Amino acid sequence: MSTNNQQEISYLPPEGGETLWVLGDQVTFKADGERDGLTLFVSTIPPGGGPPPHVHYLQEEAHYVLEGTFSFLSGNEWIEARAGSFLWIPRGVRHTFRNTGPETGRLFSTNTLPGAHERWFRHVGVPLTDRASFQPPPGSPDMEEVRSLAAREDIHLELPGRV
């Protein structure tokens, strides 16, 4: 008796993956935690870009710097990271990052709570409509709503004037 339970390699070309604008940065899903059981995404970040400081209590996070120069906040200390650098962020550590270079930078990232970042990015992000342009959509999101949606996915954002 022959059964065909063979699995196949999943392939995504370099330009492939769902891309969203999230708070001024582009995020492209390479693996979706809910679909694939693994979260992998590439962030394309303009000079000065990056998320607000935040903490995860249920997940660890990792970043590999593909291009550019970044500063990563770990608690109250800054770490300078250039292309080729790898950063592991344990749960419970206050962190953020900023693209401190003069050019757009790129990070390859993952976390240990598959699906959490994807759900939040889809709640607050805007789908990319023109891959040739690096112009975020106009307007500003309601940051209190962004903060509330993030907290549901174990992304506890610090906003100016709030703790």
Q: Phi then psi for 121, rounded to 5 degrees?
A: -55, -40
Q: Phi then psi for 116, rounded to 5 degrees?
A: -65, -50
What the block records as the tokens of 131 is 């891959």
Contact residues for 3 (Cβ-Cβ < 8 A; gap 6+): none
**pLDDT at residue 4 is higher than 80:** no
Instruction: State the Cα–Cα distance between residues 23 and 45, nearest whole angstrom.
Output: 10
Q: What is the pLDDT of residues 59-107, one digit of tens each?
A: 999 999 999 999 999 989 999 999 999 999 999 999 999 999 999 999 9
Residue count (the chain): 163
Smallest Cα–Cα separation from 147: which of 124, 127, 126, 125?
Answer: 124
Instruction: Tell me the pLDDT band of 6, cut-offs 50, 70 and 90.
Output: low
Planar angle of CA 130, 109, 65, nearest 5 degrees:
90
86-121 exposure pattern, b = at least 16 Cβ within 10 A, e = fewer: ebebeeeeebbbbbbbeebbbbbbbbebbbbbbbbb
What the block records as the tokens of 115 is 């699906």
Kindly list the structural domains of the chain, giving each domain's residue range(s) and its CATH number in brackets, ordered by start.
Answer: 19-128+144-156 (2.60.120.10)
**pLDDT at residue 158 is higher than 80:** yes
Choose the weakest-confidence range: 27-31, 54-58, 143-147. 143-147
CA-CA distances (angstroms) from residue 82 to 26, 113, 155?
A: 19, 26, 25
Q: Decide: pTM greater than 0.85.
A: yes
**pLDDT at residue 45 is higher than 70:** yes
| pLDDT at residue number 5 | 58
| pLDDT at residue number 135 | 81
More confident residue, 7 or 77: 77
Planar angle of CA 124, 159, 55, nearest 5 degrees:
80
| pLDDT at residue number 95 | 97
Q: What is the pLDDT of residues 122-157, one digit of tens each?
A: 999 999 988 777 788 888 888 999 999 999 999 999
Q: What is the pLDDT of residues 34-43, one digit of tens each?
A: 889 999 999 9
* C-alpha 60: how far from chain center: 13
Instruction: Tell me the pLDDT band of 161, cut-offs 50, 70 and 90.
Output: low
